[in-house]
């Protein structure tokens, strides 16, 4: 099964306690695509500028990612500059240049329209709504958002929430979206806004999936996946998108969407997130093997399972 992802492709300049990199390949759709490519066929919808070369595109195509949906526009590619201090959970944005991303008008190529799965990475919710509505036959829609849209585009975001089956956000976003400081209460409020399931990512503490009662063949009981205790988080950029790639990619590879599949997808999401932060940018996501992924999956199982 194939999955379409719509989102940003970007250049990132990063500084972490482990070093710095200038203008390396980044963006939510990039991290998602590379991660999901270890599980299923991936098709990207994005926009890049004239500074985006064949070299960058081949990072994706080498992993079998279909890049026909990447528009090449006049101008520069979306650029983000940030740094992380000792607390790697908090990024400090030093510069954001939207460039061609500012007028991004996502077009899903006709060749993509037979995809059963769709992931709406973190972009303007109005665009997320339009893309989702242009792909009527998809079986499952995953989506992401961020604080900026929660505060500035609430009405469009509400429309988006009615159109995603599974929303993936972090603790702070969930609490902000629900206006509730209790995570479980916030989760239930978000589920009332539309999604059938909600994945809340807790950074180094893992992630929890909450369900609307009766959806995906089960009750309302949540399920929690751990994160791997890692001595060195070299670069946290893209961890959440790599999580989403592993999560959605695994689901798309299974053909059925049961609780069992979703639980395993939570583990694969955590696995891919744990790999992503081991090196800068997309480095680790370029060089994985399915064997290494399944080995780490087993490590996650040992970390959490009693028997």
**Residue 20 binds its own copies, judged by CB under 8 A:** no
Q: Which stretch binds its own copies (CB under 8 A): 7-15, 132-140, 236-244, 263-271?
A: 263-271
**Residue 213 binds its own copies, judged by CB under 8 A:** no
Smallest CA-to-CA distance from 191 within 171, 217, 165 is with 165
Among 125, 142, 206, 249, binds its own copies (CB under 8 A): 206
Task: Name residues contacting its own copies, limited to 98-157 (CB under 8 A).
Answer: none
Q: Which residues contact 191 (CB under 8 A, 6 or more apart)?
A: 197, 198, 210, 211, 212
How far apart are the C-alpha atoms of 265 and 215, rounded to whole Å? 16
CB of 28 to its own copies, least distance (A): 25
How far apart are the C-alpha atoms of 174 and 180, rounded to whole Å? 8
**Residue 306 binds its own copies, judged by CB under 8 A:** yes
CB of 235 to its own copies, least distance (A): 14
Neighbour count for residue 65 (Cβ, 10 Å): 22
Alpha-carbon dihedral 136, 137, 139, 145, rounded to 10 degrees: -30
CB of 226 to its own copies, least distance (A): 5
**Residue 269 binds its own copies, judged by CB under 8 A:** no
How far apart are the C-alpha atoms of 66 and 68, rounded to whole Å? 6
How far apart are the C-alpha atoms of 252 and 268, rounded to whole Å? 12
Q: Which is nearer to its own copies, 96 or 182 (CB)?
A: 182
**Residue 223 binds its own copies, judged by CB under 8 A:** yes
Please report which helix (H) or strand (E) contains residue 79, including its range: strand 78-84
**Residue 187 binds its own copies, judged by CB under 8 A:** yes
* Contact indicator for 165, 199 with CB cutoff of 8 Å: no
**Residue 86 binds its own copies, judged by CB under 8 A:** yes
**Residue 212 binds its own copies, judged by CB under 8 A:** no
Q: Which residues contact 220 (CB under 8 A, 6 or more apart)?
A: 210, 211, 212, 213
Among 19, 20, 230, 256, binds its own copies (CB under 8 A): 230
Q: Which residues contact 91 (CB under 8 A, 6 or more apart)?
A: 82, 83, 84, 236, 237
* Contact indicator for 42, 66 with CB cutoff of 8 Å: yes
CB of 278 to its own copies, least distance (A): 13
Among 74, 229, 289, 291, binds its own copies (CB under 8 A): 229
Among 55, 95, 231, 291, binds its own copies (CB under 8 A): 231
**Residue 239 binds its own copies, judged by CB under 8 A:** no
Q: Which stretch binds its own copies (CB under 8 A): 2-10, 36-44, 148-156, 299-307?
A: 299-307
**Residue 179 binds its own copies, judged by CB under 8 A:** no
Residues engaged in binding its own copies (CB under 8 A) = 86-87, 181-185, 187-188, 202, 204-206, 208, 210, 221-224, 226, 229-233, 260, 263-264, 267, 299, 301-307
């Amino acid at each position: 099964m194939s999955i379409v992802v719509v989102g940003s492709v970007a250049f990132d300049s990063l500084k972490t306690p482990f070093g710095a990199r200038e203008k390396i390949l980044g963006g939510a759709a990039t991290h998602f695509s590379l991660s999901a490519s270890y599980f299923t066929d991936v098709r990207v919808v994005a926009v890049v500028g004239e500074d985006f070369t064949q070299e960058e595109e081949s990072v994706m195509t080498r992993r079998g990612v279909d890049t026909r949906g990447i528009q090449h526009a006049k101008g520069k590619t979306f650029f983000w500059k940030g740094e992380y201090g000792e607390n790697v959970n908090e990024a400090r944005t030093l510069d954001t240049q939207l460039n061609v991303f500012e007028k991004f008008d996502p077009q899903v190529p006709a060749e993509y329209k037979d995809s059963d799965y769709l992931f709406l990475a973190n972009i303007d919710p109005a665009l997320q709504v339009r893309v989702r509505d242009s792909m009527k036959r998809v079986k499952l829609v995953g989506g992401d958002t961020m604080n900026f849209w929660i505060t500035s585009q609430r009405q469009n975001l509400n429309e988006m929430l009615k159109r995603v089956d599974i929303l993936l956000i972090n603790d702070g976003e969930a609490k902000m979206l629900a206006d509730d400081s209790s995570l479980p209460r916030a989760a239930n409020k978000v589920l009332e806004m539309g999604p059938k399931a909600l994945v809340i990512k807790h950074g180094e503490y893992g992630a929890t999936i909450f369900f609307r009662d009766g959806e995906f063949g089960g009750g309302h009981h949540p399920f929690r996946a751990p994160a791997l205790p890692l001595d060195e988080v070299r670069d946290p950029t893209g961890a959440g998108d790599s999580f989403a790639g592993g999560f959605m990619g695994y689901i798309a590879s299974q053909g059925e969407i049961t609780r069992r599949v979703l639980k395993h997808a939570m583990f694969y999401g955590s696995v891919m997130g744990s790999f992503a932060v081991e090196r800068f940018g997309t480095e680790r996501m370029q060089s994985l093997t399915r064997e290494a992924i399944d080995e780490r999956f087993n490590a996650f199982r040992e970390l959490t399972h009693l028997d």
